[in-house]
Structure 1
Amino acid sequence: MKTFIIIGAINAFLSVALGAFGAHALEGKISQKYIDTWNTGVLYQMFHAIGIIIVGVLMGNVTPTSLLSWSGWLMLIGTILFSGSLYVLSISGVKILGAITPLGGVSFLVAWVLLIVFAAKTL
């Protein structure tokens, strides 16, 4: 419970910090295409930071299950793979990194499906 709330809050903090960094430090240094890519990473990181916090809150209010735990961990893994690859792609321009991004997207999708199944079975 507490672990997911802390992980989610750290990710929310990092999302805000990376958003500010992208808006101020990267402006004029990378193309608008890569600024947009950076911002997509920031947006998805924040969405899933909130999702991780929700998982943590749920774990504190119901009997946790592996469905719920896996949902939280997959949101974190998805953030690292999806948002992380977009951040590195944006500042490096190495397009092959885009091949990692869909793995993060799949992690996000599975995480949300697990949360749906958890809610349908438990709540």
Structure 2
Amino acid sequence: MLNWIGIAALNMAIAVALGAFGAHGLEAIVSPQQLEWWHTATLYLFIHALGLLLVGLLIRLKYTTQTTAWLLQVGIVIFAGSLYAMTLGAPRWFGAITPIGGIFMIAGWLWLAVSTFRLKRPISQSKPS
């Protein structure tokens, strides 16, 4: 089993570093539109990294499975990654994959909702004695 709490912490560290780079290193070399993409990517990275931290705890407590974490992490990489790439010079059409990342993030949150609504008690307690 992956350590989703550790992965979430790495995502948050990356978000801080990329946020600082965007605030202090990009302003003079990219357009306002590109800077806005960078800020959007960083905001979503932060929010979903914090969410992934919570999901990691829920996995350890046996209230959900790794599926939620995988969906969120793939969404983070595709959504934020495509916006970062466009800011750094990837062709504008590259933004067409950004919504795919958003769909993965939405699916992750919906998967968490469905899996917890279906759960009567923690996964570890649902096995017959």
Q: Which residue of 2 aligns with 1:46?
A: 46
Matches within 5 A, 1:10-49: 10-49=10-49
Structure 1's consecutive aligned runs of 4 or more residues displaced over 6 angstroms after TM superposition are none
Tell me the SS of whatever aligns to 2:56: helix
User: Is the 1:51–1:72 contact (alpha carbons within 8 Å) kept by the matching residues of 2?
Assistant: no
Question: Which consecutive residues of structure 2, in runs of 5 or more, have no partner in the other structure?
Answer: 122-129
Partner residue of 1:88 out of 77, 81, 85 = 85
Q: Which has the larger radius of gyration?
A: 2
**CA contact 1:35–1:90 (8 Å) conserved in 2:** yes
Partner of 1:4: 4
Give SS of 1:26's match: coil
> Greater share of helix residues, 1 or 2?
1
Map of 2:98 onto structure 1: 101
Say if 1:37 and 1:90, in contact at 8 Å, map to a contact too: yes
Corresponding residue for 2:111? 114
* Match of residue 69 from structure 1: 66
Aligned residues: 120
Give, as a single letter, the amino acid of the residue that structure 1 aligns with 2:81: G
TM-aligned CA deviation for residue 93 of structure 1: 5.0
Shift of 1:51: 1.3
Cα RMSD for the two superposed structures = 1.5
Deviation of 1:30 (Å): 0.3
The answer for unaligned runs of 5 or more in structure 1 is: none
Structure 1: which amino acid aligns with 2:13? Answer: F
When normalised by structure 1's length, the TM-score is 0.91
CA distance, structure 2, for counterparts of residue 28 and residue 7 of structure 1: 32
Structure-1 separation of matches of 2:56 and 2:90:
35
Look up the equivalent residue of 2:17 and give its one-letter code.
A
Question: Scaled by the length of structure 2, what TM-score is found?
Answer: 0.87
